[in-house]
Structure 1
């Protein structure tokens, strides 16, 4: 099939598919070119180099995750929103392992400033801000929630929980409950000294 109308978006999309199908580390300009049935030189009109290709995968993954989060979080608050946030991340990681890996890597400056990154950050912050915690604690709380979700997903993926007979789903629910309790009882700021 001829690829005369190749676009940057099509190249990034193919790179995401390759990351999910093979692995994030398998994404190279040559590998994406092979997937598209073109020569690597054809891609350089659309992506500068491998770093730009991976940055595009990262930004695209943020866009897809943000879209899913916006849909799942609409009209929810408290523990219900927290569970939707966590479950959406977990499903995304399962369905798009290469894109999920991209989200675990440091982002480029452009990706960090992108509207896709801003949306994901705003949605996560919005869930956290739904709890009675001081404004100064929002960043810490977001980091706690993100680290718990990411760590649980990474350990599950590494089969670190496989040696226990207990269902991982019950541990996932317990982790969400623990986060809910932590956010609900976050220490309030004391008077200034």
Structure 2
């Protein structure tokens, strides 16, 4: 990328590509500058520091994931929407491992309040509202969903659950069945 073409968005996109290609922990301003063919100082007019770079990748990933989830769950409800939602996370984690790692980091207050984070939260709640869950239970359901999906993907990525039969795909479906059962079994008072 030529120096004249540098914008904040281009710098963040290049950082995301670097994280995906070489690993999230290699994401530094100096490594990014080398990849872009510029001096590190040239990046400071686009990103404040490494923390801002990571925050930018986090927001980029939130937006990309939200876009994919919106397409995947549109017109679906219940188990179909849950499967599309979870599979979209899994596919994103496989395709963009560095960006996925950014999503697993604590979000800054500004990122939590960002438009991409709000969109992803709204899509998650929309999917969960396809179940007979009381509004008072949606936060619990969101946390259970996130813990199950993110936990499974983390264990699969580090090889902890891939060394025995049955295949992890069977376990993935089993986990989604379990979530679907829990979400369907809540009554209007939030009790099983």
Structure 1 length as normaliser, TM-score? Answer: 0.96
Partner of 2:98: 98
Give unmatched runs, 5+ long, in structure 2: none
CA deviations on 1:97-122 (whole Å, 9 max, x unpaired) are 00000000011121111110001111
Match of 2:64 in 1: 64
- For 1:22-75, what per-residue CA distance to the aligned partner results, in whole angstroms no more than 9, with x for missing partners? 111111111111110000000001000111000000000001000100111110
Q: CA deviation at 1:152?
A: 0.5
- Equivalences, count: 190
Residue number in structure 2 paired with 1:87:
87
Partners of 1:182 and 1:136 lie apart in 2 by: 15
The alpha-carbon deviation at position 186 of structure 1 amounts to 1.6
1:176 match: 176
Q: What is residue 135 of structure 2 aligned with on the other side?
A: 135
Q: Is the 8 A contact 2:82 2:180 kept in 1?
A: yes
> Which of structure 1's runs of 4+ aligned residues deviate more than 6 A?
none
Q: For the residues of structure 2 that align with 1:164 and 1:139, how far apart are their CA atoms?
A: 34
Please list every run of 5 or more consecutive structure 1 residues that lacks an aligned counterpart in the other structure. Answer: none
Classify the secondary structure of the residue corresponding to 1:166: coil
* CA distance in 2 between partners of 1:167 and 1:91 (Å): 17
CA contact (8 A) 2:11 2:46 kept: yes
**Alpha-carbon deviations, 1:147-175, whole Å to 9, x = none?**
10000000100111122121111111111
TM-score by length of 2: 0.96
CA drift at 1:187: 4.2
Question: Cα RMSD over matched residues?
Answer: 1.1
Preserved contact between residue 132 and residue 187 of structure 2 (Cα < 8 Å):
no
Distance 2:173 2:20 in 1: 26
